[in-house]
Structure 1
C-alpha cells in the first residue's frame, strides 16, 4: 500500500477505482482493511463508480505509531485527511467516517468545509456533542497484562479485537485518551455540508442520530435496524442508504 508523510507521521492508504472521490475514515482500533475492505465497502463503492480512498489513522494499521495522547487530538487527525487530499491533488471529496472516523469527519467539515462535498457520519449521533462515545477505560484494558486480566465487557471486546488484529495496544491507549474532543451545538449547527447520520437502532455508543441531525441544516437520518455499534458497519441497509444519499446529494 502507498504511504505519504504528513509532517513526521507516515500515513498508509489505498486508492482504488475511478470517478468522484470518496474518503473512508475508520473507527478506533480498526484499520482500512477491517473497517472498509472486509465488509465490502470498497468493492461496493468502486462498483458504483466512485474512486475510493481509505487510510489507516495515525496509531492504527500500517501508519505511524505515536504514544503521546496529544498527538491524537481530533483536529490533528482531521488534518491528516486534509493532507491526504492535498497529496492526491483532490480538491473536494465525499467523506465517510465510522465512529471515531465520523468524529474526525465532523471536525474536517468544521475546519475545511470547502473540501467536503458531503459527509456520512456512521456510528455517531449526539455523542459528538454529549460525551466521547467509547469509554476511556478501554485504555486500561488495552494496557492490561493479558485479556484474562480484563473484566469490563466492552474493555474485553476491544482488547480481544486489538490482539486479533495484532495492533499496537500502547498506541491505541494513547489514541483513546487523546481523541475525546466534542463539538458544541453551535459548532454542529454551523456545518452546512449535506450530511447523512447513520446509526444502528441498538447502538448504545453513538447517541441519538435524530438529535444530532436536528441541529444540522442539511442532515438526514438513516436508521440501521437491529444493529449495534459493532455490527452496523457492514449492514446492507447502511450500504444501500449511503449509495442513495450519494446519488441525491448536491
Structure 2
C-alpha cells in the first residue's frame, strides 16, 4: 500500500499502470464512507479502465480508508480535500488527468477544477444532480449524518438513507468518529457562477432512482460544456458497480456522448 504525506496528512493511494502503454491517466475520488478499494477496485473500475489503456490513480480521501483519520472538523473541508488531490498529482508527476468523482468525491473534483482548472482535463461527476444547490432540509426525525455515525445501534436510526450510510461505514470498517467530524467540516457553498466559467467538458451522471442527487441534466446546464445522463434502474448505491455507469463514463471520454466539444486536449 503506497502512502505519502500531503498537507500534513498521510494519504493512501493506488497508482496502477495498464497492461500496455498508458494512453491516458484518470484520478478517481470516492464517496462518503467509502474508500478506494470498495468504491473502485472491488466494483471493477481498475480492471475496466486498465483494459482501455488508462493509468488509474485512486486515493483514500482523508478520514476514509487507510488515510489519516482526524477527529477534528477543522482537518476537513472541501478546499483541503482538493489540495490533497492536487498534491498527490504533483507527487506522482501528473499534470492534467481525467477526474471522476462520485457523490462526496464530486465536491472534491469540482473544487479541484475551480482551484486549478488547467489541472483537470475532463471532469466527471457521478451520483449528483440538480439537488446540489438545494438548501439543507430539516430531517423529519431530527437526524443527521453525524447522529447516524454516533448512534450506538444502527437499528435506532429512523431515516433509511442515513441508516444505509451507517451500515455501509460499518461494513467497510471506517472510523465513525472521523466520518462524523468530516460531516461537521465547514466549507463555503460551491459558487454556481464560477462553475459556469469552467471550460473543460463535464459529465454529470446519476441513477434514475437516486433521490439524493436529483436530475443530472439540471446540474449539467450550469457548465458551458456539460452533459447530463440518467441511468435507468440505478440508485445512489447501485450505480457505482453497474456496467451502465462504466459505459457512460467511457463513452464520454471517447467523445461519443456529444459532438459539441472534444474529449481530450
TM range (shorter): over 0.9
Are the structure 2 counterparts of residues 90 and 113 from structure 1 closer, same or farther at C-alpha, using a change threshold of 3 Å?
same
Aligned residue for 1:117, secondary structure, equals coil
Once residues 200 and 39 of structure 2 are traced to their aligned partners in structure 1, the CA distance between those partners, rounded to angstroms, is 24
Aligned residue for 1:223, secondary structure, equals strand
Query: Within 5 Å, which residues of 2 pair with 1:39-78?
Result: 39-78=43-82
Answer whether contact 2:26 2:97 (CA < 8 A) is retained: yes
Query: Within 5 Å, which residues of 2 pair with 1:8-27?
Result: 8-18=8-18, 19=22, 20-27=24-31
Aligned-residue offset at 1:35 = 0.5
Aligned-residue offset at 1:244 = 1.1
Aligned-residue offset at 1:77 = 0.3
Once residues 10 and 179 of structure 1 are traced to their aligned partners in structure 2, the CA distance between those partners, rounded to angstroms, is 21
Match of residue 86 from structure 1: 90
Q: How many residues in Structure 1 have an aligned counterpart in Structure 2?
A: 249
Match of residue 185 from structure 2: 178
Are the structure 2 counterparts of residues 193 and 72 from structure 1 closer, same or farther at C-alpha, using a change threshold of 3 Å?
same
Match of residue 224 from structure 1: 231
Are the structure 2 counterparts of residues 132 and 66 from structure 1 closer, same or farther at C-alpha, using a change threshold of 3 Å?
farther
Aligned residue for 1:226, secondary structure, equals coil
**Unaligned stretches of 5+ residues in structure 2:** 256-262
Match of residue 124 from structure 1: 128
Aligned-residue offset at 1:192 = 1.4
Which whole-Å deviations, capped at 9, do the CAs of 1:12-39 have from their partners, x for residues lacking one?
0001124211000000000001110111
Aligned-residue offset at 1:91 = 0.9
1:95 equivalent among 90, 99, 102: 99
Once residues 76 and 17 of structure 1 are traced to their aligned partners in structure 2, the CA distance between those partners, rounded to angstroms, is 27
Match of residue 143 from structure 1: 150
Structure-2-length-normalised TM-score: 0.89
Aligned-residue offset at 1:7 = 2.5
Are the structure 2 counterparts of residues 40 and 131 from structure 1 closer, same or farther at C-alpha, using a change threshold of 3 Å?
farther
Match of residue 3 from structure 2: 3
Answer whether contact 1:131 1:182 (CA < 8 A) is retained: no
Structure 2 residue 172 is matched with structure 1 residue 168: no
Match of residue 201 from structure 2: 194
Aligned-residue offset at 1:123 = 0.5
Answer whether contact 1:222 1:238 (CA < 8 A) is retained: no
Runs of 4+ in structure 1 over 6 Å off: none
Aligned-residue offset at 1:203 = 0.7
Match of residue 258 from structure 2: none
Q: In angstroms, what is the RMSD of aligned CA positions?
A: 1.6
Match of residue 244 from structure 1: 251
Structure-1-length-normalised TM-score: 0.95
